[in-house]
A and B are shown apart, each in its own frame.
Chain A
C-alpha cells in the first residue's frame, strides 16, 4: 500500500521556457530518480513560496527521464505566474509521482484537449510501438505553442484547431466518430478540460468503449488527505489525487 521513495525532494530549476506570445510554458527541473506511469502527476511548491500561495500545485508529468522532469503548464493565476518567474538554480519542493496513471495498452486512441496533451507526450515517447497509437488533438491556441513535434510521426496523429462555437461542434462530432470507430479495437484515453471530458465521457459510455479519463480537479495536498479534489464515482466521492487522476470512464459520473 505505502509507496516507497516518494518523500519531498528539493529540485533545482534547470530552465523555464515560455512560449512567446502565448500563455503557456515549459518548466524543466532536475529529474526525480523514480519510475512513473504516464498520467501520473507531481506536486510542486517553489521554496520561495511562504504563505501565499499556500498550496502546492499539481502538474501532470509531461516527461521524466535521466536528464529532466518536464512540466507543460498554462499561466492562469498567481501560482502559475510565479512558476513562470522562476530562474535556473531556484529550488522547487516536489513530491511524486502521484496517483494512478493510464493503464498499459498495446493499442490506444489518445484524445487530448489543449493542455491535456501533457501526459500523452510521455506516453507516446515511452510506448514500445508508437505506430499502434492514434492521437486526436483539439486545441484553441496555434499548434506551434504545444509540444506537438515531441510526438513521434510514427503515431497516427491529427490536430484540429477550434476558435469558434461551430468549430467546437465539428470537433465534438469528430470525437464521437473516432470513439465509435475505435470502440472494441483498443483502449481510449482522454485528458483535457472539463467540457471536453464531458463530451468524451458521454460517447465512451454510449459506445461501451474501454475508456479512461484523466481529471484535473483542484487539489490542496495531493496525497489523499484534504478530500478537496473529490470526483463523483459509482463508489461515491473519491479523491482524484490518489484514486485518480485517471479513472475508468464507466466508474465516473461527470
Chain B
C-alpha cells in the first residue's frame, strides 16, 4: 500500500502535514545537522519583527512536569537580517512560513508588505497570541474585533496566504477563529502557549524573570486538542493543530479532530531530530492503520 502524505493549506501545497512551530525551530538552519530540512512539510521560523528585538531578561525558560514555561519575548534578528542572512540558506524544496510579530497594526502591515515581496516566503503566520510581550501579541488575539481588523489590514496588502495563530488564553476561542476567518484569514493555527507561572520556594522568587510565561509541551496537548476540535467544527478554512505534539499518534489525533496539518514545537527541544523522525514514522503508522491519504482521515472523528 502506498501512502499519500500530501495536504493543502489554502493555496499552499505541502508534501506532508509536519511543520515546525515558530519559536522552537530557530531559523531552521540550527536543525540542519540533525536531518534533511527538505523532507519537512514546511518550516515556520522564529517570530520576526521589523527591527531586531533582544527579548526578555533571563532566566526565561523553566521545565515543568511534562512541559515547560518560556518567556523569551520574541528575541529575533529583525526582518532585514532574516531576509539577507537566513532565508537564502533555507532549501527551495520546503515552504518557508514566516511568523510575524509587531506592536501595532501599522507595523504589522509594513512587515507583511516586506515579507510578501520575498519570493522564497511561502506564507505568513500572524502572531496575535504571544503572551510574553507587553505590546501587541496576545492583545490582538484576545479581542475578536482587533483580531479581525488586523487580519483584514494584512490581507489587503499581501498576495501570499495568511495564517493566523490563535491564543488559548481567551474566553471562547471559536469567537476569535470566526472573526479572523470572516476577515479573510486563509488558514488558522492554534494553540499558542497557555499563560503560566512557576515559583521557587527556596528563593521566594518567580522562576522566570518575567514572572509569567507560556506553557507548552505534552502537558497542554489535551487542551489543544479540544480547542482544535471546537474550532474545526465552526470554521471552513483549514486549521493547523499545535500543542504538545511529539509522536505520530499525536499528529493523527489532531488531524482526526479536523486539523489539516500540525506544528511540532517543544518536542524539537526534547531532541533535535524529532520532526525528521516524525516524517519517517508517519507513513509507517498510516500503513498500519490502513490510511491511504489524509482525505479519509482529516475530521473523520466519530463522536
Contacts and interface: CB of A to CB of B under 8 A. Distances in A.
A7 B54 contact: no
Contacts of B63: 53-55, 220
Interface stretch (A68-76, A120-128, A199-207, A226-234): A226-234
18 contacts: A2-B32, A4-B33, A7-B33, A7-B273, A54-B63, A55-B270, A56-B271, A95-B34, A220-B68, A225-B268, A225-B269, A226-B70, A226-B72, A227-B72, A227-B75, A231-B58, A237-B75, A242-B30
A99 B191 CA distance: 32
Interface stretch (B1-9, B21-29, B167-175, B286-294): B21-29
A178 to B, nearest CB: 30
Contact of A51 (B24, B62, B66, B75): B66
B55 A227 contact: yes
B60 interface: yes
B67 to A, nearest CB: 6
A223 B75 contact: no
Given A8-B34, A54-B68, A236-B54, A228 B272 contact: no
B270 A223 contact: no
Interface of A: 1-8, 45, 51-56, 93, 95, 217-218, 220-232, 236-237, 242
Interface residues of B, number: 39
Interface of B: 24-26, 29-34, 46, 54-55, 57-68, 70, 72, 75, 89, 217-219, 246, 266, 268-273
Contacts of A3: 33
A4 B269 CA distance: 20
Interface SS majority for chain A: loop
A229 B65 CA distance: 19
A221 B272 contact: yes
B33 A6 contact: yes
